[in-house]
């Protein structure tokens, strides 16, 4: 059978579809608006003041660190919590102290490249504590090594600030300095693992979520530097680092030496507890040398010296 192709028919069909296609697509698409008009696209804008200038000169330029001290609701994870912004008069005293007890010692002993590579790039400040429904408050939080939130900035007090009393020092040390050193130590071991042997030192004595039922004194009897240390291997690792740096050699020695006689409730003897703490100390010092080429005791001395100036 011969198939007859009707050329005229094809031409009409083709012509028809060309028309239809061009009609459907031919009208001008809406133009993309002027992107520069979008409000707040590059971040909120305000007239810069002395605080902004100091942050830029002292943190952003040398270390690529930015600090959000002006209120932005969306920097906080839990929108149901009532928070208030930082008081301007608190910002620079806090940031200067953070630089002195964390940035400067690490930069001197581990190098600028190291510090810039591993430090969190954004700090967010909240004036008040974050109160949880169970009545507890949240210590600072850290996100993926990039962002650190510090709470209770309006309660920050060091020597030279109005209203400072010696009794403030343990709160300030724990709330601000311990948090930063603790979080930074996590970043370090997440980039270069600590040795597996560390996990053997106190094996069987870790408490997990039950850490909250122990005091620091109880934990020390078991060979842990703080009760939070007992929650996991990694927390143990970073709490040791934070405490050693902030207490200094003398302070840490005092902690180890003041473990009381007798056994802990888990049956750990004083000698075992002290040995555990010393072994952990050695491993950390060795880790810093091997992984980062840092003299830990030098870093410790510098950190402690800077801390003593302010608390």
Partner 1 sequence: MVKRFLYICIALSGLLYGCANSDDSVFEETADQRINQALATYQTMLTGSQDGWDALVYPASGGVYSFYIRFSEDNRVVMYSDFDDQVASAPKESSYRLKAMQTPALIFDTYSYLHILSDPDPDVNNGTTGEGLRSDFEFSFYGDSVSTDRIALVGRRNKSRMVLTRASSSQKAAYESGAMGKNVGFHKIATLHSYFKRASISGVQYEIVYNPAKRTISFTWLNSSGNLVTYTTPYYYTAKGLQLVNPLMNGSQTINQLSDISWTESTKTINFSVNGAKSAIVEASAPLKPDNTAGRTWWQMAVNNDETYWVSWMGFHINGVDDALKVRDLTAPQSEFGYLLYWPGIGSNYDAFAPVFFNTQEGSVNILYGNAVSRPVYTNDGRVVFSHLGTIGTEEYPTSGPAVESARILYNSRGFYFIRTSAETYDMVSAADPRIWISWEFL
Q: State which of positions 206-265 bind partner 1 (CB under 8 A).
A: none
List the one residue from 3, 6, 39, 113 that touches partner 1 (CB under 8 A). Answer: 39
Determine, following the binding rule CB under 8 A, whether residue 33 of this chain makes contact with partner 1: yes
Of residues 86, 219, 241, 306, which one binds partner 1 by CB under 8 A? 86
Q: Which residues pair with 130 in a beta bridge?
A: 138
Task: State yes or no: residue 132 binds partner 1 (CB under 8 A).
Answer: yes
Task: Compare residues 12 and 305 and give the one whose CB is closer to partner 1.
Answer: 12
Q: For residue 138, give every residue at least 6 positions away whose Cβ sits within 8 Å of its Cβ, in sequence order, or none.
A: 129, 130, 132, 151
> Which range of residues in 38-46, 171-179, 180-188, 195-203 is near partner 1 by CB under 8 A?
38-46
Cβ distance to partner 1 smaller for residue 174 or 234: 174
Q: What is the DSSP letter of 176?
A: I
Distance CA 261, CA 198 (A): 25
Q: How far apart (Å, rounded) are the C-alpha atoms in residues 264 and 266?
A: 5
User: Which of these ranges, 83-91, 238-246, 256-264, 279-287, lies near partner 1 under the rule CB under 8 A?
Assistant: 83-91
β 66-68/141-143 pair status: unpaired
Q: Which of 176, 125, 129, 123 is nearest to 145 (CA)?
A: 123
Chain position carrying tokens 């560390």: 198
Of residues 135-164, those binding partner 1 (CB under 8 A): 135, 154
**Selection from 97, 214, 100, 208 nearest residue 156 by Cα:** 97
Residues found near partner 1 in the complex (CB under 8 A): 16, 19-20, 23-30, 33-34, 37-40, 44-47, 49, 69-73, 81-88, 127-129, 131-133, 135, 154
């Amino acid at each position: 059978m011969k198939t007859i192709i009707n050329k005229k028919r094809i031409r009409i069909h083709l012509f028809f579809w060309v028309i239809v296609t061009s009609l459907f697509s031919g009208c001008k698409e809406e133009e993309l608006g002027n992107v520069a008009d979008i409000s707040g696209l590059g971040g909120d804008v305000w007239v810069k003041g002395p605080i902004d200038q100091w942050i830029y000169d002292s943190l952003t330029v040398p270390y690529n660190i930015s600090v959000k001290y002006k209120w932005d609701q969306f920097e906080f994870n839990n929108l149901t919590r009532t928070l208030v912004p930082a008081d301007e008069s608190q910002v620079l005293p806090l940031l200067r102290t953070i630089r002195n007890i964390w940035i400067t010692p690490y930069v001197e002993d581990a190098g600028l490249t190291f510090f810039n590579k591993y430090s969190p790039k954004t700090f967010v400040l909240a004036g008040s504590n974050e109160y949880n429904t169970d009545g507890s408050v949240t210590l600072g939080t850290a996100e993926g090594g990039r962002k650190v939130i510090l709470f209770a900035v309006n309660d920050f007090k060091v020597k030279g600030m109005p209203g400072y009393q010696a009794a403030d020092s343990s709160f300030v040390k724990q709330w601000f300095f311990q948090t930063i050193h603790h979080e930074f130590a996590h970043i370090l071991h997440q980039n270069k693992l600590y040795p597996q042997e560390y996990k053997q030192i106190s094996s069987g004595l870790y408490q997990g979520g039950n850490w909250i039922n122990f005091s620091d004194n109880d934990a020390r009897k078991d060979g842990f530097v703080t009760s939070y240390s007992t929650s996991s291997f990694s927390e143990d690792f970073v709490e040791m680092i934070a405490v050693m740096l902030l207490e200094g050699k003398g302070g840490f020695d005092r902690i180890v030496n003041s473990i009381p006689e007798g056994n802990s409730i888990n049956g750990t003897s004083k000698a075992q507890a002290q040995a555990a703490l010393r072994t952990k100390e050695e491993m950390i010092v060795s880790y810093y040398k091997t992984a980062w080429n840092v003299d830990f005791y030098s870093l410790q001395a510098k950190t402690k010296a800077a801390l003593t100036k302010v608390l």
